[in-house]
Chain A
Amino acid sequence: MTKSFHDQVIAILPKLRVQALALTRNRAAAEDLVQDAVCNALSAQDSFAPGTNFPAWMHRILRNRFISDLRKKRETTDIDDMPPSFLSTNAPHEDRIVLKDLDAALARLPDDQREALVLGVLEGMSYQELAEVAGCAVGTAKSRVFRARRQLEAWMIGEEHVGADRLKAQAAALQRKVERNTQEKTASSRV
């Protein structure tokens, strides 16, 4: 028996929460985002074609809602807003510190990379599905997951920059050097 539209909405709520938390980094904001996305989905249910990919459709609505809200107001990230599991967990102290580091590192990732990584790793979404959700090419989805993973690994083992970030840092350092040289030349020509 096929599930009704509303049953599918209820069934996907836990996954929407994960996506919302990955995007907002704030539990209260994530709850609001899920509720708003559900309202949008209910209003737009006639536009959903039965038999097509409901999870991708629903995740895309949530994502679009997040982007639209973001344009109005940039969300704040609160490190104290971490899940209670690793504050009250039985995990050893060292593990909790590492989890805290992971949470902080996740917060530093661009929203689209964090979302792709979380949906891919936790929800088992394929690159194709991630691309559908994000409205991007499959290659882009793949690259987001790859870069997020590589950046997290670099941060967790103590490397500050990788790939493009490293290049950007080098370019910025070079730019500063050029500016310094120019200033020095200007100063010496005045003497």
Chain B
Amino acid sequence: MFAIQTDNMAFPSGGVRVHHRMEKFMGDDPPKESKKTSDQAFDLWLKRGLHQLFDDVANEPIPEELLKLIEEDRRD
């Protein structure tokens, strides 16, 4: 599994903006921490984006023709 560890963060289109904003909020946080947070936010955003792009396809009903093909082979 990959580094998608947070489930409660949004990642709007401006990744860099988020990064800077978080630095402001967190004050003296070392840059490494901010980078990690930014990476996690991007990973979460990416995961959600991929779900939106691909879930439809995964959830579509299986074509009857394909199921028939498999069932016919099972009977052989």
Q: Which residues of A contact B (CB under 8 A)?
A: 4, 6, 9-10, 13-15, 17-18, 21-22, 27, 30-31, 34-35, 38-39, 42, 82-86, 89, 91, 94, 98-99, 101-103, 106, 117-118, 120-122, 124, 126, 145, 149, 152-153, 156-157
> For chains A and B in complex, what number of residue pairs have CB atoms within 8 angstroms?
97
Contact between B1 and A124, CB atoms less than 8 A apart:
yes
Which residues of B1-50 have CB atoms within 8 Å of chain A's CB atoms? 1-2, 4, 13-16, 42-43, 46-47, 49-50
Mostly helix, strand, loop or mixed at chain A's interface?
helix
Chain B, 50-61, contact with A by CB distance < 8 Å: what is the 0/1 string? Answer: 111111111110
User: 7 A-B pairs, CB-CB below 8 angstroms?
Assistant: A6-B74, A10-B70, A21-B57, A83-B57, A86-B53, A120-B1, A153-B46
Contact between A6 and B53, CB atoms less than 8 A apart:
no
Contact of B52 among A38, A42, A89, A126 (CB under 8 A): A89
Contact between A157 and B15, CB atoms less than 8 A apart:
yes
Using known A-B contacts A9-B70, A10-B67, A89-B52, determine if residue A18 contacts B58 with beta carbons closer than 8 Å. Answer: yes
Per the bound structure, the CA–CA distance linking A106 and B54 in Å amounts to 12
Per the bound structure, the CA–CA distance linking A83 and B47 in Å amounts to 16
Most buried by A among B1, B47, B53, B59: B53
Per the bound structure, the CA–CA distance linking A35 and B63 in Å amounts to 10
Mostly helix, strand, loop or mixed at chain B's interface?
helix
Nearest Cβ in chain A — how far from B41, in angstroms? 10
Per the bound structure, the CA–CA distance linking A132 and B47 in Å amounts to 23
Contact between B70 and A17, CB atoms less than 8 A apart:
no
Q: Which residues of B contact A82 (CB under 8 A)?
A: 53
Using known A-B contacts A6-B74, A149-B46, A156-B13, determine if residue A30 contacts B57 with beta carbons closer than 8 Å. Answer: yes
Interface: B71 (CB within 8 A): yes
Contact of B46 among A17, A31, A38, A121 (CB under 8 A): A121
Contact between B73 and A99, CB atoms less than 8 A apart:
no
- Additional pairs, 14, CB under 8 Å, beyond known A38-B69, A98-B49, A102-B53: A13-B66, A14-B58, A18-B57, A35-B63, A83-B56, A85-B56, A91-B52, A98-B13, A99-B49, A102-B49, A122-B50, A124-B1, A149-B43, A152-B46
